[in-house]
Amino acid sequence: MSMTINRNERDAIYDGLMTDLTALDDVYTHLHHDEPADARRLWRRFAVELRLLDDLGWERDPDAAQFELTLPAREMRPIIERIYWSSVSALSDKPDELLEDARKTISTAAAACPEILARLVEKELPDRGAGLAETPTE
């Protein structure tokens, strides 16, 4: 099941992903320190994030106004939650140290993520009555 988001929501997720992907160097660091399990865990996380980037577009400023997200809700939800909590944390920890552009970007992510999360939850919930066997009446 896919979900369509608007340009503002896309930009908020995209900016959050760009921040999160700065940790790609940690894969190398874990491998360099002979910590393959930690490196593999991060790689799995980034692999899913890069699949989401395929839906969002790799360009900073794509032409589209709407974006179809094809990543399953159960895989997308942790990414959106990470972006949300990272944004909230940045706004509450050191708001005065943020440049105005960064504050605006982070605020946009903090506002967009709960809406997207709510829509993802709806996609994860089974239809009421789906899968229930009808009971024959006698």
Q: Provide the residue ranges of all domains of the chain, joining segments of one domain with +.
A: 3-124
What pTM was estimated for this model as a whole? 0.68
**CB neighbourhood size of 120 (10 A):** 21
* Cα distance from N-terminal residue to C-terminal residue, the chain: 38
Q: Which residues contact 39 (CB under 8 A, 6 or more apart)?
A: 26, 27, 28, 30, 31
Q: Is the pLDDT of residue 68 over 60?
A: yes
> How far is residue 13's CA from residue 86's CA, in Å, rounded to a whole number?
12
Least confident of 3-17, 40-54, 117-131: 117-131
Q: What is the pLDDT of residue 115?
A: 75
Q: CA gyration radius for the chain?
A: 18
3-state helix, strand, coil split of the chain in percent (to 5) is 70, 5, 25
Q: Is the pLDDT of residue 124 over 80?
A: no
The better pLDDT of the pair 102, 18 is held by 18
